[in-house]
Copies of this chain bind each other. A is one copy, B any other.
Amino acid sequence: MDDVFKALADASRRALLDRLHARNGQTLTDLCDGLAMTRQAVTKHLAILEAANLVATVRHGREKLHYLNPVPIHQIGERWIRKFERGRLAALGELKRKLEERDE
């Protein structure tokens, strides 16, 4: 789970996931296209995404196809974000109240 959060912390990596979301199964050079980064930098980002299980790859001859795995993202939504949504309105009300105590 920590791997996933860490992987998602970087904007370049989120952009790569966005690209795969737009078009799945791209090669490394596809994914490099138009980015202000060397291929090696992208390779490293993809390795981190792969380690976090956010991306799966298939070798196909000399190219490597990258596929988005949405499961870990979904799990963060389920296991982590939802927790904070329960009691969200209550927390907000309390927060507002306490912030206004300032002016008393």
Determine if A95 is an interface residue (Cβ-Cβ < 8 Å). yes
Q: What is the size category of the interface that chain A forms with chain B?
A: 35 or more
Determine if A102 is an interface residue (Cβ-Cβ < 8 Å). yes
Instruction: Say whether A11 contacts B2, CB under 8 Å.
Output: yes
Contact of A98 with B25 at beta-carbon distance under 8 Å, contacts A70-B91, A85-B77, A92-B71 already known: yes
- Chain B residues within 8 Å of A88, by CB: 70, 74
How many of these chains are in the complex?
2
Contact of A68 with B91 at beta-carbon distance under 8 Å, contacts A6-B9, A58-B99, A99-B58 already known: yes
Chain B nearest Cβ from A3, distance in angstroms: 10
Instruction: Say whether A84 contacts B58, CB under 8 Å.
Output: no
Instruction: Say whether B81 contacts A95, CB under 8 Å.
Output: no
Q: Would you give the 0/1 interface string for A14-26, flagging 1 where the beta carbon is closer than 8 Å to chain B?
A: 1001000100110
In A19-51, the 8 Å CB interface with B consists of 21, 24-25
User: A63 to B98, alpha carbons, bound, how many Å?
Assistant: 14
State which of B67, B70, B101, B102 has its C-beta within 8 Å of the C-beta of A85: B70
